[in-house]
Every structure is written in C-alpha cells, then in structure tokens.
Structure 1
Amino acid sequence: MGYYVKSVVPVIESNYDKFTTVEKTIADFFIQNKEKSDFSVKAVSERLFVSKASLVRFAQKCGYHGYKEFIYQYEDSLIEKQESITGNTRMVLNAYQELLNKTYSLVDETQVGRIIIYLNQAERVFVCGKGSSGLSAREMELRFMRIGLRIDSLTDTDMMRMQAVFQDKKSLVVGFSISGEREDVIYLLREAYKKGAKTILFTAKSKDSFKKYCSEVVLIPSLRHLNHGNVISPQFPILIILDIIYAYYMEQNKHVREGMHDSTIRALEEAEEMHTKFLDEE
C-alpha cells in the first residue's frame, strides 16, 4: 500500500473526451492494461489495428512530445504490488491507493503555489458546487474559515447566479465540478472571470474551453475507470487536493493561522460546555 508512482493513466482519463474514436480505443487499452508487455509502436499498432501516426497523435494529445516519451512513463508505472489482505477491505484500500497514485501523478506544486497567492490576495473567496461537490465546497469553507480566510460556500443555484453579479478584481471564485459540466458552477466562474476575478475550477475533465474563463484548472482523479469506483465517495479526490492546498496555506504565517484554528476550537468547546451546563440546570 506504500507505492506512489507517476502514472500516465489519470492524464489519459482527463483528456479522454478530446480523443477521436481511434484514440479512445488506444486510451481504453492503456487504461485497462495492468501487465508488462511489448509496447513498441509497431507492436501496439498491430495489436490495436491502428496506425503508428495515430499512436503518436494520441501521445501528443496527452501532453507528451511523442510516443516514446509517453510509453517510457507508462512502463515505469507498471510496478508489482504485494497484497497481504483480502476481500472487500483489500478492494476498498486498493481503490483508495489507486486514487492517491493518480493524485500524485496529477498534482502540480507550481500551480498550488499560484493558488496560495490567489488566496492571500483575495479580499473575499467564494467556493461553489452542487451535490457531492457542494459538500466539498462546504468542507473548504469550514476549514479555511477557521484559519482566518473570508470565505463563503454556495450550493444553491439562485445564490450562485446572484453572487456572479457582485464579483470583481478583489474576488476569488472556486468551483467544484467533477464532470466540468455543471452549468450553475460554470456560469459563476464565467461571469466572475469577466468581471476580473480570479477563478479556479476543480474537475476530472481537461477541456480547452475552460481556459476562456478559468485562471487555473486543477485536475483531479476520475472515478470512471477505477475498479470498484462506485464504492468510493466522489468527494475524496477533491478533498485530497484541498488537503494539499490547505497544508501549503497553513505553512505561511503558520504560528498565526494555527493560533486562529486553536481559538475556533476553544470557542466551539466553550459553546458545548455552556449548552451542557444549561441542560444540567434544567
């Protein structure tokens, strides 16, 4: 369970919708394959009945200079893993481990650094999402609010559209949409960007259109091609990245922010003690 391997699979998954039918055939092969084999351009083209040129274009769409660079990293990720537990426990833990590996492959520390700058510069932060992504938005609000950030979560359609009107250059808007297709979330990001706000989208999809209204697109692992992905909470990939950003943010002015966090904990504990005392007196 202690393996962290830079894998090309999450990169393939995030670009999947860009591929042609032939390229999706290639993508499916590399996503589903778990064994070492002959991955030379000749062998794979013959195995999949695709041209060598298609393999090169596929690799380039994934962000590599060519097929050789792509396959070098792909082969490097095929590491034997010893399992000592069985049943549902192994299945769930393996799924989480695979998600951690995918996150490791996608996380961009330079990008995280830029996001920290945005958080420090913004006078007000709004984070939005619907469904399970809305729960992640609420989680971000609660965590960062405790260390002094002026942040509000939006999970209601009307609130997202109304707040879009009031954004400006001093705002930072964060949107969570695993599919990248939540119209309410996209609307807020798009309108806020027009008004000069910094905008960040957390998504499992890589689309060129996002660049038109997103200052940053943070790619998160997809559950779509994950074995037994249906038992994993869709919030988990988002929360991993949030934890990384939170750790970097806490590191700046660490003493002050830890003090704020401890103060909020004490305030909550005092409220609980007062409530308990009131009930005892009743």
Structure 2
Amino acid sequence: MEHYARSIIPVIEYNYENFTALERTIADFFIQNKKKRDFSAKAVSERLFVSEASLSRFAKKCGFRGYREFIYQYEDTFREKKSRPFADNTKRVLDTYQELLNKAYNLADEKKFQKIAGMLTRAEKIFVCGVGSSGIASRETELRFMRIGLNINSLVDRDMIRMRAVFQNASSLVIGFSMKGETEEVQYMLREAKRRGAKCILVTARNNPDCLEYCDEIILVPALDNLEYGDVISPQFPILVMMDLLYTYCLEENKERIDAFLEDTAKALKK
C-alpha cells in the first residue's frame, strides 16, 4: 500500500486500564481528538482542568520520558509524510491484509447480513462447520456467537459433520465454511440439512450460483491466490472478517436481551 498511518493511540488504549480517573480524562481527550490544535501543556491543562504535572505523569505511564516527548509523537499523526519504508516481508503481510479488507468492503452486503442475522436469532439450533483452517474459523464463530445467547455448535471433524447432517430439521440453521466451496463434508452437510428442511448458508470465496440449489444464502468472502496455504497470513482471516460483520448485525436484533447475555458471560468468565 502507499501509506500506513503511524499513531500512538493504540499505546494510550493499551495502558488505559492502568490510568487513574483523572488520567483517563486526559486519555479520552487524545483518543477522541481528530484535529490539529494547540497541544502545549498549558493549553491542554486549561482545556481539561488538570495540572501540567498530571499531563507529565500521564505521558510517563504511556512509556514516554515526559509530556513533551509524548506530544511530539502524538502530533506526528497530523503531519503529512511519505510512507515509512518497511522491510519487504513486513510490507507483504500488511499489504495482504489491506487488500483483503478492501475486498471485504466491496463484498459486504448489508441487506443480506440483516436477513441472515434474523435467521440466526430465530433458529432453535445452529451448526457451523468447516475443515482445516475453515474449522478454526468455525470454532471461533461458535465462541463469538454463543456469548449473545445463540444455541450454536461448531463441527470440524469430517465424520462428525456427516453424522450430524442427518439430524437436522426445520428448526436448524447450518452454516458451512469452504473457501473454494468444494469441501465434500461441508457440501454433504448443507445438502442433507436442506433436504430435511433446515436453513442453510454457505460462506465461500467462489460465487457459484449452483450452490443456491442447497443454500438459502451465500456469503462471499475475499480471497487471494494460494491463501489457503497460509504462507503470508492466516487463511481463516477473510471468513472471520465477514463473521465479525454478521455479528454486529446480530447485536442489533434484540439489543436489550443480547446485552444481558454479554454481561452474564462476562461475569461468568470473571468467577
């Protein structure tokens, strides 16, 4: 890519939990600010009603020697500059991620996500299946969506996928992950589940209209040549991007109920 923005905002966010209430006020100001202004210690202390000593302590907690060094780095965000030269391997990885994100942006179908989110929240039981790297994405999807109260299970074993296919019915929703759309076990699961009345969704990088024969919806994910070999980035990344988008639409389906589930699961993890 032509340019990667360097920002110290992630540094502030990373240290946020270590800040005092006063320091969080300072942190919030720098995180939320979007324009260049007078960032001198005097100007910022007057704006936030904090002392200059508080600004110094805040900067040191962020890993800087003082406020002057912090603000120099912070102001760098607003300076126009040529892209920082990267080593070839670093640039290759970042370029790959950026290319996939750009493709995801163009593939995202908001109306389809809204429709599928409704299907997910209405389904009595949900099965998400995949093999290999798609299986890893299946497990992650289960962990994400179970936290909002969905009855979801991931299937990654080839034999288990085939066996569970025969138990599907009209109360089921099946999501199959297959980048090429050719994984035999995933195809079998979707075909058999559809035949038994289940709702079926295929997540794939291949836009094959024939899949609509046994799928109610197809979610297209971005792909690059040889991505499945994982020689540059994790091959499950494109699937997880689309699942994250779908997740946000599910959050809006019944926000009050879902917020309660999220709070309960968060409490359970703390015990």
CA 1:113 to 1:136, structure 2 compared with 1: closer, same or farther past 3 Å? same
Code of the aligned partner of 2:205: A
Q: What's the TM-score once normalised by structure 2's chain length?
A: 0.66
3-state DSSP of counterpart to 2:201: strand
Corresponding residue for residue 119 of structure 1: 120
Tell me, yes or no, if the aligned pair for 1:223 and 1:229 is still in contact at 8 Å: no
Corresponding residue for residue 86 of structure 1: 86
1:149 aligns with 2:146: no
Corresponding residue for residue 181 of structure 2: 180
Tell me, yes or no, if the aligned pair for 1:95 and 1:229 is still in contact at 8 Å: no
- Bigger Rg, structure 1 or 2: 2
Q: C-alpha separation between the residues in 2 aligned to 1:111 and 1:209?
A: 18
Corresponding residue for residue 259 of structure 2: 258
Tell me, yes or no, if the aligned pair for 1:223 and 1:234 is still in contact at 8 Å: no
Q: C-alpha separation between the residues in 1 aligned to 2:123 and 2:257?
A: 18
Code of the aligned partner of 1:115: I
Offset, 1:110: 1.1
Tell me, yes or no, if the aligned pair for 2:162 and 2:185 is still in contact at 8 Å: yes
Q: C-alpha separation between the residues in 2 aligned to 1:225 and 1:155?
A: 22
Corresponding residue for residue 131 of structure 2: 130
Q: Can you list the C-alpha shifts for 1:53-110, whole angstroms capped at 9, x where unaligned?
A: xxxxxxxxxxxxxxxxxxxxxxxxxxxxx63341133222121111000001111111
Offset, 1:128: 0.2
Q: C-alpha separation between the residues in 1 aligned to 2:100 and 2:206?
A: 15
Corresponding residue for residue 58 of structure 1: none
Moved over 3 A (4+): none
Offset, 1:165: 1.1
CA 1:2 to 1:165, structure 2 compared with 1: closer, same or farther past 3 Å? farther
Offset, 1:120: 1.8
Offset, 1:162: 1.5
**Aligned residues, how many?**
191
Tell me, yes or no, if the aligned pair for 1:103 and 1:220 is still in contact at 8 Å: yes
Corresponding residue for residue 213 of structure 2: 212
Corresponding residue for residue 221 of structure 1: 222
CA 1:249 to 1:135, structure 2 compared with 1: closer, same or farther past 3 Å? same
Percent identity, please: 52
Code of the aligned partner of 2:83: E
Code of the aligned partner of 1:212: E
Report the aligned-residue RMSD. Answer: 2.0
Tell me, yes or no, if the aligned pair for 2:148 and 2:261 is still in contact at 8 Å: yes
3-state DSSP of counterpart to 1:111: helix
Offset, 1:265: 2.0
Q: C-alpha separation between the residues in 2 aligned to 1:229 and 1:85?
A: 25
Corresponding residue for residue 165 of structure 1: 166
Q: What's the TM-score once normalised by structure 1's chain length?
A: 0.64
After superposition, residues 1-282 of structure 1 pair within 5 angstroms as 83-87=83-87, 88-224=89-225, 230-270=231-271
